[in-house]
Amino acid sequence: MSGVIPRLALKRLSSHRLRTAVTAFAVVLTSVLYMTVLSIAWCIADSVQLSRQLATGSDFHAQLPQSGFALTPTELLRRVGSSPDVDEAYILSFSGSFRSEFDTDAKSAREIVLADRESVMKHLFLKKTKGRFPSAPDEIMLCEEVYPGLSVGDRIGFRFMTGEAAGGRELELEVCGFFVSDADFDLNGVMRWDETLDGELFSGADIMISFHSSIDIEGQLDELEESLSQYLEPGGKASGTVNYAFLGADIRSFFTAGNIALIIMITAVLFFASFLLIYNIYSIALTQDMRTMGLLGVIGMTFRQMRALITLEGLMISAAAIPLGLIAGYFIGFRALTPVFMSMSGEELPYRFNSLIAVISGGLTLFTLLFSATRPIRRIKKLTPVQSVSERPLPTKRERQRGSMNSPSPLKLAAASISRSKGRTAVTALSAALSVLLFTVVGAISGGVREYILRDMGMFDFETRLECEVEKIYADGRRVTDTSRADFNGVISRQIIDGIEKLDSLSEIHEIRSAKVTAKGSSRLSETIRAYRDQSSYKLSDPLIEAMEGSISAVVVGVPDELCRYIKVGENERGEPVYYDGSELYDGRHVLSVGGSISQYSGSSGFNGVHLYDGDLLSSDSMKRDYEVIYCEVYGSAALRRLCVLTPDFYEAMFILPMSVFSEEFPNAETVTLLMNAKEGREKELESEVEKIVDGYVWFVEPKNNYEIRLRGRIDEMRELDERLTAINLTGGVLCGIILLIGVMNMVNSSLTSVIHRRREYAMLEAVGMTEKQLRLMIIFENAVGAIAALIALTLGSVLSRAVVIASFGIDAGGLSLSAVIALAVMIIVSAAVSLVSFYIISELPVTQRLREE
């Protein structure tokens, strides 16, 4: 490219300052739009991935058990590590264990990790705080939070529950250091892996693998297993598992037709909105320059040079505007909107910025700008030099003959002028329609979400439950209190109940009671657990063994009779809750079995199949009679969801009786939950009075488990719902607002540039007798296109959104969105204002002067 092209590009940009500024502003706006959407999308994906990794306790891509291979773990590690796809590989083993001196209950067992090197710790989200990594198999590094009273050098006894020794094996270990864990995964400690311990303390080593790429881990693992198949034992099988915490892990299964269609749709809407803005502004600017470009062609500028000139101008505008847009997008999209969006679930999710967001946003903006120039460039290519020096207007599409002999009205003249510039009109109309349509969609989603959540919201203003406060620590160091861990251990004293019952602001109060029993299992349950044991690589926990052998720990919950019709027993095909509506439950011979779970040593996941089924009997030595089981396919917490917002943790098995039956069976059972409604308008009063009564009541204390009374309920749920909806509306509103701004800019730009270029035409109309009033009317008609398109979009969008929400959720949340109506009003006002300004621009010069204009 000769030096004259850059100089010419600079000259042209500086001599058309207003046009350059408007284009630059469009580029800034587009960058902000891309940056905002990408920031939110990226942070959601990143946060989901990080949260999943913290939940699973590691950031390895996959693990390959040594079992099945005719190689030692060390030999297998060497083979795996030499694969070109593998970035890092380590030996790791897990063993369920508990401290034999204090933890007599095997349920308190947590994992001990055996690792072959210290660098594994960072992959397990462990941070060393004191001492050192174990150097010998008889040393252990302990979790500081689990063992706060111990020091480096202390000796500690552990019973290991996996491995070959029946009933586990005890080992005395020396404490060599401490760590803290960021993962949501409770670990006792870390030991040094040693081949001599294999089979004795743990049931085999795994090779933990990180590939070079996080994409398609399944495929990479399959290939690795295939390459290692020659080392399998006769009849052995490689049984590697993928860590699905990685979003790219099962990327193949992510790209279903539906997901692809959704991504294409969102991308298309975004690109379309941005493209409309830049295309309209930039292409109109270039089209205005068509004669100049033709002239440059006459004096010897080749088409290639013209294309280089236009591209360079685009790059120059981008060089200044994109960084500005990215900075604005960083503050609007990432700093302001992303936190709002990330707190939408009610929990503040971790999120972090990645420079890739800016790179992709900038790239997309540049692409949109350059893509917008392609059509004018094509037109320039078609333009012959003679057309640009001709005194005749530049060629447009040939107009069809019309047989009309009526004298044209302002409306007809406006229609004729609109049809002459169909492309520009279409862009303006589409842009205006899109912005209003998006507001409608966001409004429908927000309304749908609200109604959907309201459908399953708690029935009571307030409820109390004793709840254990648990602290979660995120990788970035933030500590968040998780108050969801409630179980049936907390007893609310009679003194508290009496105190609340006396309150004047109270309208109604109900008690939920519970009793723990050891019930007889069933042959079906035993078979289910046996099948689970046979396919699990871990030993069964003691409670599971007991359940398999016919004895289950259970909780029976007493629910006031009048509330039993709100016990959830399933969901219909639309996801709506189905409540128990039978009569057998009240006959004193039936009980609802709503499921349960028994945790395993192997971590947070438990075995969820602890049920008695239809035909089984709930029978216990501590109960006066046996009850026929009515089986429901829900877990205990879900069954009571409508009644208790503070849903309890899974118990081993949970049964529900109406209070009339329950009281006879368990006359001394304790109250675990109080359900309250306030008198109308006195919710706040009741809340503060109940808080005063329960304040300071602690039922049970141990280092990590302080059971305190929590007060929650529908009022809190509504508050949280409103916060979530605010987040949706705010984020959606800003995005739609940017697109609305794009629509407005398109409308203003199209109208004003059109008017300026047609001043002579308007003067001719005036010269032949068009009055000012008629001219004004004609301009109003011409500029009404955007507003009419917006009105159509609002009407159709509202009807369609409503239909989609009803079809998807069975909810009629109403179709008309207030924000969409406001957006339409903005369009109408802008349309009117543009008409006035246009008229001013036209009438500012006398007719004679305008007639002389080229």
| Site for other proteins, rule CB under 8 A | 2-4, 7-8, 11-12, 14-16, 292, 295-305, 384-386, 389, 391, 398
Write the CB contacts of 610 (distance below 8 Å, at least 6 apart in sequence). Answer: 525, 547, 552, 595, 596, 597, 598, 652, 653
Structure-block tokens of residue 737: 């607002």
* Element housing 590 (H / E): strand 590-593
Rounded CA separation 453/718 (Å): 9
Radius of gyration of the chain (CA): 36
What stretches of 281-373 show up as alpha helix (H) in DSSP?
284-288, 290-298, 303-329, 338-342, 355-372
- Shortest Cβ 8–other proteins spacing (Å): 7
Say if residues 48 and 228 touch (Cβ distance below 8 Å): no
Distance of CA 378 to the CA centre of its chain: 42
As measured in angstroms, the least distance from the Cβ of 15 to other proteins is 3
Residues with Cβ within 8 Å of residue 579, at least 6 apart in sequence: 565, 566, 567, 568, 569, 642
Smallest gap from Cβ 382 to other proteins, in A, equals: 11
Q: How far apart are CA 744 and CA 431, in angstroms?
A: 8
What whole-number distance in Å separates Cα of residue 765 and Cα of residue 205? 90
When the beta carbons of 70 and 389 are compared against other proteins, the nearer one is: 389
**Distance in Å, CB of 849 to other proteins, minimum:** 16
Q: Which is nearer to other proteins, 11 or 335 (CB)?
A: 11
Taking the complex as a whole, the smallest distance from the CB of residue 10 to other proteins amounts, in Å, to 10
Q: Which is nearer to other proteins, 702 or 854 (CB)?
A: 854
What's phi and psi for 671, nearest 5 deg? -85, 125
Give the residue from 445, 382, 376, 402 showing the smallest Cα distance to 809.
445
β-strand partners of 707: 468, 700
Nearer to other proteins, 309 or 676 (CB): 309
Instruction: Report DSSP state, residue 195.
Output: G
The minimum distance between CB 845 and other proteins, in angstroms, equals 17
CB nearer to other proteins: give 384 or 536.
Answer: 384
* Nearer to other proteins among residue 5 and residue 459 (C-beta): 5
Closer Cβ to other proteins, 317 or 805, answer by number: 317
* Tokens representing residue 739 in the block: 């697109």
Quick check: helix, strand or coil at residue 136?
coil
Of residues 345 and 384, the one with the C-beta less far from other proteins: 384
* For other proteins, the closer CB: 259 or 292: 292
410: which 2 tokens? Answer: 């302002």
Return the number of the residue (291 or 420) whose C-beta is nearest other proteins.
291
CB atoms within 10 A of CB 294: 21
Q: Are 495 and 584 in contact (CB under 8 A)?
A: no
Least gap, CB of 850 to other proteins (angstroms): 18
| Minimum CB distance to other proteins, residue 841 (Å) | 20
Which residues have C-beta within 8 Å of that of residue 155, sequence separation ≥ 6?
172, 173, 174, 175
H/E element holding 64?
strand 62-65
Q: What is the DSSP letter of 596?
A: B
Give least dist CB 300 to other proteins, A: 2
DSSP assigned state of 539: P
- What is the C-alpha separation between 646 and 571, in angstroms, rounded? 20
- Cross-strand bridge partners of residue 95: 112
- The amino acid present at 214, given as its one-letter code, is S
Smallest distance, Å, CB 295 to other proteins? 5
Q: Token digits for 454?
A: 């309201």
Look up residue 26 and give its amino acid.
Answer: A
Residue 307 CB coordination number (10 Å) = 15
Give 663's Cβ-side CA count (13 Å radius). 9
Give 4 or 531: the residue with its C-beta nearer to other proteins. 4
3 state DSSP class of 44: helix
Nearer to other proteins, 293 or 414 (CB): 293
- Written as six digits, the tokens of 356 are 């890739």
Q: Give the shortest CB-852-to-other proteins separation in angstroms.
A: 12
What is the closest distance, in whole angstroms, from the C-beta atom of residue 384 to other proteins in the complex?
Answer: 6
Shortest distance, CB of residue 390 to other proteins, whole angstroms?
A: 8
Least Å from the CB of residue 763 to other proteins: 20
Instruction: Report the DSSP beta bridge partners of residue 513.
Output: 558, 671
CB of 4 to other proteins, least distance (A): 3
Instruction: Identify which of residues 2 and 404 has a Cβ nearer to other proteins in the complex.
Output: 2
Least separation in angstroms between residue 296's CB and other proteins is: 7
Q: Closer CB to other proteins, residue 309 or residue 515?
A: 309
| Residue 496: CB atoms within 10 Å | 18
Task: For residue 688, give every residue at least 6 positions away whose Cβ sits within 8 Å of its Cβ, in sequence order, or none.
Answer: none
Which tokens in the block code for residue 357? 């967001």
Cβ nearer to other proteins, comparing 308 with 503: 308
628's enclosing H/E stretch is strand 627-631
For residue 242, give the 3-state DSSP assignment. Answer: strand
What amino acid occupies position 716? D
391 HSE (CA, 13 A, CB side): 1
By beta-carbon proximity to other proteins, the closer residue of 293 and 805 is 293
Edge to edge, the sheet with strand 670-678 lists: 617-618, 627-631, 590-593, 654-658, 551-559, 506-520, 670-678, 462-468, 707-712, 698-700
CB nearer to other proteins: give 109 or 293.
293
Is residue 126 within 8 Å of 203, Cβ to Cβ?
no
Least Cβ distance, residue 305 to other proteins (angstroms): 6
Minimal distance, residue 476 CB to other proteins, in Å:
53
CB nearer other proteins, residue 633 or residue 853: 853
